[in-house]
Chain A
Amino acid sequence: GAVVSQHPSWVICKSGTSVKIECRSLDFQATTMFWYRQFPKQSLMLMATSNEGSKATYEQGVEKDKFLINHASLTLSTLTVTSAHPEDSSFYICSARVGQTPGEQYFGPGTRLTVT
């Protein structure tokens, strides 16, 4: 149980275009999902917390107008990178909160974004 999927697993796009990444909880409902970004050989940095039916909470320094997050249902959250630039190239990982234990999250396989 507690499987989280992401789609696509990798994507290459041109600078200036927008890219949407989907995060789905496959066998459970997730009221809270998280989006992380990981640059090569670096740690995971939380970008935002996505709550079903409400606006996402962004971490300091993350542009909410650039990284649009929508959590329209209990099993789907999307991250849209708008007007992507090469510096947005990164590994984006989503996770979903399971149960009530603080910090208990199951992670998706990640999406590798390359902006050319």
Chain B
Amino acid sequence: AQKVTQAQTEISVVEKEDVTLDCVYETRDTTYYLFWYKQPPSGELVFLIRRNSFDEQNEISGRYSWNFQKSTSSFNFTITASQVVDSAVYFCALSAGTGANNLFFGTGTRLTVIP
């Protein structure tokens, strides 16, 4: 069975602080994909990143960075120098198995950046 856990329900930070959103996943498949999505107040999901299980290289995109560690089944997301526009709900998701289509979402972390 597939499962994604985002233990942090809500996080508040002051603008310009760094913040890390945790994501722990469970799957028995050796081939899987991990995703992060941003859902701003408008509701539309914004794709941030996809990472496959064979690529543990960390990734940086501007102020965003992702740390993938198979040893701990974690795929954490860090925002550096947070901005008010980063305020949103962030979802971690998992797709597992060859040819799998389904996305299993975590419960999301609501990030509030205080000006």
Contacts and interface: CB of A to CB of B under 8 A. Distances in A.
Interface of A: 32, 34, 41-46, 49, 91, 93, 95, 97, 101-110, 112
A103 B52 CA distance: 10
Contacts of A104: 33, 50
A-B residue pairs, 9 tightest by C-beta: A103-B95, A107-B45, A109-B44, A102-B100, A110-B43, A103-B33, A43-B107, A43-B105, A44-B105
Given A102-B33, A103-B33, A103-B95, A49 B102 contact: yes
B93 interface: yes
B97 A102 contact: yes
Interface in B70-115: 91, 93-103, 105-108, 110
B102 A103 contact: yes
Given A46-B102, A109-B43, A112-B43, A103 B91 contact: no
Interface of B: 31-33, 35, 37, 42-45, 47, 50, 91, 93-103, 105-108, 110
Contacts of A43: 91, 105-108
Contacts of A110: 43-45
Contact of A107 (B44, B50, B95): B44
B34 to A, nearest CB: 9
Contacts of B107: 42-43
A13 to B, nearest CB: 19
B92 to A, nearest CB: 10
A45 B106 CA distance: 10
Given A43-B91, A43-B105, A102 B43 contact: no
8 contacts: A43-B91, A44-B103, A46-B102, A49-B101, A102-B100, A103-B100, A103-B103, A110-B43
